[in-house]
């Protein structure tokens, strides 16, 4: 079988024929060049309006990069025709079906590069397939633009909102995800984590789609809560265990640090090297940490330490997540907050006040039948950070946004006649 026959099979072009392929260049820098010619009855198509018209003249041959074969770059050679367009009343270069505009790469090669850019770094993709980082970026940008234009947004009923750090310093991106079962993807990116940066999402999404949203899953960041209450009043805003437990762990650690400083000043080293004993789940402790914890509990004097009291409060709150009925969970949460306020442990009292302020949103987790949580959002955030690393070399927020949508957007891909990878 000739190579051009194989090329006709995997990448047929209607109205055009592949001619005999030839190998050029020295060993180590070979290239496979395949000329293309139009069929005799094939009229050129105007690139401006899409109207067929007579050929005015031909331009010098152009090269279009194709998917490599056996590690050898493949180039398609074609002399572009200029069309005397009856609709535009001017001379225009023709539109060809295998490439977009003035791009020197075929569309199938753009899809090929973009598919590899999902599994490895853009720099590595460029070095393996004989293109630069910019060419990989253009391929990903073209695929992302196609996907955004053709994606469907009418089936969104659950949304998760969180922020990730863009770079060093206080530079953040607001990430909006769809977290419905069976469809978890990135929907929108805002630059910053303020009301001003998040408000355009509701304008872009539209009031009709906002009215169909049933659940929002967020943390306790006030700008998010205010805008969601204003623009999606029918949605249930869920504050789940992930952020609550994380903040409670920080409060326990603050109690430990302050108490350890006081004990050290008195010449006692009771709480030294115990940080992770109080922050980990008991089942996740190492054997050494378990022994250390048992030794601390064995001394009745240590049970009066504020750190150990705060630790017991943290473990007791885990019972909250075993409830299924919102009223029962609310009764337990009220009792827990009451006991914490009587403990006079200031960091824990601050957490109890926070829980009281957000009580309704916390109980929404149970009203949503424990189906939606920010654990999904945090998992998508971790994938976003991996996508940011794969696109390293970017210098702008636009490039980063394209990389994130390519990695997490679950966007539809342009149709191709053959998938050259995975």
Q: What is the pLDDT of residue 418?
A: 67
Q: Is residue 25 part of a domain?
A: yes
Q: Is residue 128 part of a domain?
A: no
Name which residue leads in pLDDT, 30 or 177: 177
**Residues 116, 122, 125, 130: is their CA dihedral positive or negative?**
positive
Q: Is residue 122 part of a domain?
A: no
Q: What is the pLDDT of residue 394?
A: 66
Is the pLDDT score of 25 beyond 80? no
Mean pLDDT for the chain?
A: 87
Based on the domain organization, do 232 and 342 belong to the same domain?
A: no
Based on the domain organization, do 389 and 348 belong to the same domain?
A: no
Beta-carbon contacts of residue 411 (< 8 Å; ≥ 6 apart): 143, 144, 146, 147, 148, 150, 151, 405
Based on the domain organization, do 359 and 245 belong to the same domain?
A: yes
Q: Is residue 293 part of a domain?
A: yes
Paired tokens of 181: 């079962």
Q: What is the pLDDT of residue 234?
A: 86
Q: Is residue 129 part of a domain?
A: no
Look at residues 192, 243, 189, 197 and name the one whose alpha carbon lies nearest to residue 387.
189
> What is the number of H-type helices and E-type strands within the chain?
16, 13
Based on the domain organization, do 398 and 381 belong to the same domain?
A: yes
Look at residues 331, 327, 325, 329 and name the one whose alpha carbon lies nearest to residue 369.
325
Distances (CA, A) of 130 to 32, 107, 225, 356, 410: 13, 16, 48, 60, 27
Based on the domain organization, do 245 and 363 belong to the same domain?
A: yes
Please give the model's pTM, rounded to 2 decimal places: 0.80
Based on the domain organization, do 245 and 357 belong to the same domain?
A: yes
Look at residues 410, 401, 412 and name the one whose alpha carbon lies nearest to residue 137.
401
Name which residue leads in pLDDT, 27 or 363: 363
Boundary residue ending a domain (80, 104, 128) = 104
Based on the domain organization, do 43 and 98 belong to the same domain?
A: yes
CA distance 394 to 258: 43
Concatenating the DSSP letter of every residue in 51-108 gives -EE-EEEEEEEEEEEEEEETTEEEEEEEEEEEEEETTTTEEEEBP-TTS-TT-SB-HH
What is the share, in percent, of the chain residues with pLDDT greater than 70? 97
Based on the domain organization, do 289 and 391 belong to the same domain?
A: no
CA distance 381 to 175: 8
Based on the domain organization, do 252 and 363 belong to the same domain?
A: yes
H helical segments located in 299-325: 306-317
Q: What is the pLDDT of residue 148?
A: 93
Length of the chain, in residues:
422
**Cβ(341)–Cβ(356) under 8 Å?**
no
Based on the domain organization, do 164 and 98 belong to the same domain?
A: no
For residue 208, what are the domain limits? Answer: 158-238+374-408
Q: What is the pLDDT of residue 356?
A: 93
Q: Is residue 282 part of a domain?
A: yes
Look at residues 420, 422, 406 and name the one whose alpha carbon lies nearest to residue 151.
406
Q: What region does 380 belong to: left with phi over 0, alpha with psi -120 to 50, or beta? A: alpha
CATH at 209: 3.30.420.10
Q: Is residue 138 part of a domain?
A: no
Boundary residue ending a domain (81, 104, 127) = 104
Chain segment 323-349, per-residue pLDDT in tens: 999 999 999 999 999 999 999 999 999
The secondary structure of residue 300, as a DSSP letter, is: G
Q: Is residue 125 part of a domain?
A: no
Look at residues 145, 108, 151 and name the one whose alpha carbon lies nearest to residue 11.
108
Query: Domain tally for the chain?
Result: 3
Q: What is the pLDDT of residue 283?
A: 92
Q: What is the pLDDT of residue 393?
A: 63
CA distance 239 to 377: 12
Based on the domain organization, do 272 and 349 belong to the same domain?
A: yes
Q: What is the pLDDT averaged over residues 224-251?
A: 86
Q: What is the pLDDT of residue 341?
A: 95
Boundary residue ending a domain (104, 136, 166) = 104
Based on the domain organization, do 188 and 72 belong to the same domain?
A: no
DSSP element (H, E) containing 271: none
Distances (CA, A) of 366 to 283, 323, 326: 25, 8, 5
Chain segment 305-321, per-residue pLDDT in tens: 999 999 999 999 999 99
Q: What is the pLDDT of residue 417?
A: 67
CA distance 39 to 50: 18
């Amino acid at each position: 079988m000739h190579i051009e026959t194989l090329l006709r099979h995997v990448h047929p072009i209607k109205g055009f024929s592949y001619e005999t392929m030839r190998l050029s260049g020295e060993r180590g820098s070979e290239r496979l060049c395949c000329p293309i010619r139009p069929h005799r009855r094939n009229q050129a198509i105007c690139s401006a309006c899409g109207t067929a018209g007579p050929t005015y003249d031909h331009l010098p041959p152009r090269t279009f990069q194709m998917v490599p074969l056996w590690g050898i770059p493949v180039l398609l050679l074609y002399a572009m025709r200029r069309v005397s367009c009856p609709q535009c009343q001017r001379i225009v270069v023709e539109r060809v079906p295998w490439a977009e505009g003035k791009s020197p790469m075929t569309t199938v090669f753009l899809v090929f590069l973009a598919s590899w850019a999902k599994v490895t770094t853009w720099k590595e993709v460029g070095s393996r397939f004989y293109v630069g980082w910019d060419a990989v970026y253009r391929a990903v940008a073209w695929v992302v633009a196609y996907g955004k234009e053709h994606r469907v947004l009418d089936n969104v009923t659950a949304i998760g909102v969180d922020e990730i750090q863009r770079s060093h310093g206080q530079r953040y991106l607001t990430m909006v995800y769809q977290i419905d079962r069976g469809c978890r993807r990135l929907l929108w990116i805002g630059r910053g984590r303020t009301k001003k940066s998040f408000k355009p999402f509701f304008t872009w999404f539209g009031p009709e789609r906002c009215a169909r949203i049933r659940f929002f899953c967020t943390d306790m960041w006030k700008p998010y809560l205010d805008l969601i209450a204003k623009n999606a009043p029918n949605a249930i805003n869920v504050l789940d265990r992930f952020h609550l437990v994380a903040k409670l762990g920080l409060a326990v650690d603050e109690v430990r640090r302050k108490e350890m400083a006081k004990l050290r000043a008195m010449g006692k080293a009771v709480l030294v090297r115990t940080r992770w004993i109080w922050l980990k789940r008991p089942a996740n402790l190492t054997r050494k940490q378990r022994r250390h914890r048992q030794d601390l509990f064995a001394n009745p004097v240590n049970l009066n330490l504020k750190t150990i009291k705060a630790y017991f409060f943290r473990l007791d709150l885990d019972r909250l997540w075993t409830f299924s009925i919102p009223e029962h969970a609310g009764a337990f949460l009220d009792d827990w907050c009451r006991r914490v306020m009587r403990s006079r442990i200031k960091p824990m009292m601050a957490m109890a006040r926070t829980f009281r302020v957000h009580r309704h949103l916390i109980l929404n987790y149970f009203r949503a039948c424990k189906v939606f949580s920010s654990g999904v959002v945090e998992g998508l955030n971790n994938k976003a950070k991996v996508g940011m690393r794969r696109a390293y070399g970017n210098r702008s927020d636009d490039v980063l946004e394209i990389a994130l949508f390519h990695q997490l957007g679950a966007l539809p891909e342009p149709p191709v006649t053959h998938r050259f990878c995975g």
